[in-house]
Structure 1
Amino acid sequence: MKRLLLSVIFTFFACSLYSQTKPGKMKLNAGIITAKLAESKKFYTETLGFGVTFENDFYLLLHTPDKGAEISFLLPEHASQQPLFKTAFDGKGVYLTLEVAKVDEIYQQLKARGVAIKIDIRDEPWGDRHFAIQDPNGLGIDIVTYSAR
């Protein structure tokens, strides 16, 4: 957990430094260190429709169906990586949010395919309608349609 926190702090520092030296567009790619590369690829491509941007024997980069965002997966303890990027994610303390246009349709499709729903679909007082599933690494994935309230 300490390493994950250090990684997040480093990322924010690097992004801050980058934005000061090169104004303009910035792209975020969240990365998960995990031994479950094959399971992650199968889940994200088959369950959520992601595409493969790049992969090799120790790294997997996936993109959302519209190619608007990416997520990567890296094998732990890989010889090519520095110590900061070697410790596997423990499955706690991180979540992803996928904003979709029609959350009810996605919910019905995933439920019909037998995907385990961790939080049933519901409306929140602030206007969101959402449900949650979980990836093979323990990441909670909140699938939401935002309401203009």
Structure 2
Amino acid sequence: MQITASTVSLTVDDVAASQRFFTSHLGYVEQAAAEGFASLTRGDAAVDIVLLARGTDVLPADQRDQHAAGLILAFTSTGIEDEEKRLRAEGVDITMPLREEPWGERLFQIKDPNGVVIQFVEWATPSEPA
């Protein structure tokens, strides 16, 4: 087997709100969309995202009413300090301000309108030995 792409499918209450958030603030573009469905992509290594309306019949019965909770969609990138400033200036709520962990991880978090947690990570030189 060879994996040629990766996609995360998120079940949300308001597909249009998440779709607008990801396209307006995070550089995603729509690949396809229909009632209760949107497929988003970027031109880089970011995972593709499929948004499905909670309760949709295309999901197995035991998954229809689940919500994308307990999940952190993490993007490892460069320049996250500038990214946090840009998102803050655009009015995005920074739910965890930029910080650096002793092991060298720099990160901050935001949430989309459906409560999907999005984390940006950049690796720095650790300030303490591992």
Q: TM-score range by the shorter chain?
A: 0.7 to 0.9
**Structure-1-length-normalised TM-score:** 0.75
Bigger strand fraction: 2
Deviation at 1:72, TM superposition (A): 0.8
1:46-57 aligned at under 5 Å gives the runs 46-57=24-35
Measured against aligned partners, the alpha-carbon deviations of 1:75-128 in whole angstroms (never above 9, x if no partner) come to 222234431441230x53111101111101101111111111111111111111
Long gaps (5+) in structure 2: none
2:83 is equivalent to residue 106 of structure 1 = yes
Rounded Cα–Cα distance in structure 2 between residues aligned with 1:27 and 1:129: 26
Bigger helix fraction: 1
Rounded Cα–Cα distance in structure 1 between residues aligned with 2:99 and 2:45: 27
Runs of 4+ in 1 over 4 A off after TM superposition: none
Rounded Cα–Cα distance in structure 1 between residues aligned with 2:90 and 2:81: 14
Rounded Cα–Cα distance in structure 1 between residues aligned with 2:46 and 2:112: 20
Rounded Cα–Cα distance in structure 2 between residues aligned with 1:42 and 1:30: 17
Partner of 1:35: 13
Report how many residues are paired: 126
The CA RMSD measured in Å over matched residues stands at 1.9
**Structure-2-length-normalised TM-score:** 0.85
Rounded Cα–Cα distance in structure 2 between residues aligned with 1:65 and 1:118: 26
1:1-149 aligned at under 5 Å gives the runs 23-66=1-44, 68-89=46-67, 91-147=68-124
Rounded Cα–Cα distance in structure 1 between residues aligned with 2:66 and 2:95: 23
Identity of paired residues, percent? 25
Rounded Cα–Cα distance in structure 2 between residues aligned with 1:134 and 1:39: 12
Deviation at 1:58, TM superposition (A): 2.3
Letter in 1 for 2:114: N
Indicate how the Cα distance of structure 1 residues 39 and 147 shifts in structure 2: closer, same or farther if over 3 A, else same: same
